[in-house]
Structure 1
């Protein structure tokens, strides 16, 4: 009884500082929310910049349609995998979820390159495509980090890379809406490089942000971290 009385002020101080914690939505719901933002951006592009007639003509080719759908499916699958990897205890094999749609995306793009005529591409066309992918990937990457920042990933760099893949694949799917011509081999190579750059940037920046988040959570849950909290210090003084 005396032991309980001795620690009662500290326990009361810690209890006074408690605040309700809003639980995270399920990984699937968070991924769908991110994908809904991507769909909203696609709608804006369709209204503001897309040539609907030319888009309909390009999507009439099975390989172009499969590549666009594969990119969108890769974005959704990578977002789901990123959210799942942020939940402790989930298998790391979820990281392979984007692999099948990514194979469809790249395979269909490669088939389309065989039929494309390089002479129909403007000299600065490939550079413009890379700029579009990189530019569109920035807000999508930031949104992915916001979506993942309250998670507790045990492999923060893997989670960040999956978020980067989701952003890059989403940007590639958006590019398909405004791409002025059929993809060529040079286009595909530039797209792959742009996607790799986005994933690498998320690996460096996003991994650091998510790593800090889990480090802070570990410190706050440790005995030393709890003692450093203002309520804990006031309770210790009261004792």
Structure 2
């Protein structure tokens, strides 16, 4: 009886300062919140871009709006997959969810190089200037999205930090590529496409390194 009393007292002391854990919203709701933040950025960019010119350019060639639709869908599906993967017990097959739209995005982006006509550009930049513009803007647009994704995913304490970071990086890169269209009035040349690819891979790689460490920290404590 004395031992039982001592054990009960010890349990009472250890649990005295514990607070109830708030349950996280479901992965679809968290994905919707992150996508809402990206949408808010798009609304903000609308005030600084020529929307009629943007609509005209997207309607002028099928590959342009298909590429935008592909990057947008990839951002949505990859965000949902990342938040699903952040929940312990979820199947790793969630990582396959954005693959069809990723192929659509990549294929349509490459079609711009195969067109026999070029799209009019209001900018006098050459290929190198266009590539630098693309690279810089995708990286800059990704920073707030990366910070928000890192905070939201880290709270769930995923058991697959590498895979979760990879898929969340894809969501960030795809969303940034979509937002780039508001301030990137250039046709898809080979140089521009290469810069686009480098920027996307850079965002995914940076997120993989930074987010993996941030996600893994709670697991070590």
The CA distance in 2 between the partners of 1:98 and 1:145, in whole Å, is 19
Deviations 1:189-223 (A, max 9, x none): 1111111111111111110010112222xxxxxxx
**TM-score when normalising by structure 1:** 0.85
Is residue 84 of structure 1 aligned with residue 84 of structure 2? yes
The CA distance in 2 between the partners of 1:59 and 1:30, in whole Å, is 30
Whether the 8 Å contact between 1:55 and 1:178 is mirrored in structure 2 is no
Structure 2 residue aligned with 1:68 = 68
The CA distance in 1 between the partners of 2:82 and 2:187, in whole Å, is 31
The CA distance in 1 between the partners of 2:11 and 2:178, in whole Å, is 53
Instruction: Work out which of the two has the higher radius of gyration on C-alpha atoms and give 1 or 2.
Output: 1
Structure 2 residue aligned with 1:160 = 165
Long gaps (5+) in structure 2: none
- Aligned ranges 1:16-35 → 2 under 5 Å: 16-35=16-35
Q: CA deviation at 1:119?
A: 10
Deviations 1:164-192 (A, max 9, x none): 11111100000112221222222111111
Structure 1 residue aligned with 2:108 = 108
Most deviating of 69-78 and 6-15: 6-15
The structure with the greater share of residues assigned to helix is 1
Is residue 212 of structure 1 aligned with residue 217 of structure 2? yes
Whether the 8 Å contact between 2:38 and 2:175 is mirrored in structure 1 is yes
Q: From 122, 125, 140, give the equivalent of 1:122.
A: 125
The CA distance in 2 between the partners of 1:180 and 1:144, in whole Å, is 28
Structure 1 residue aligned with 2:99 = 99
Q: CA deviation at 1:16?
A: 1.1
**TM-score when normalising by structure 2:** 0.92
How many residues matched? 215
Runs of 4 or more off by more than 4 Å in structure 1?
Answer: 118-121
Q: From 184, 201, 212, give the equivalent of 1:196.
A: 201
Deviations 1:110-160 (A, max 9, x none): 112212649967221111111000000111111100111111211112111
- Aligned ranges 1:222-233 → 2 under 5 Å: none
Whether the 8 Å contact between 1:70 and 1:102 is mirrored in structure 2 is yes
Structure 2 residue aligned with 1:5 = 5
Q: From 187, 191, 203, give the equivalent of 1:186.
A: 191
Structure 1 residue aligned with 2:137 = 132
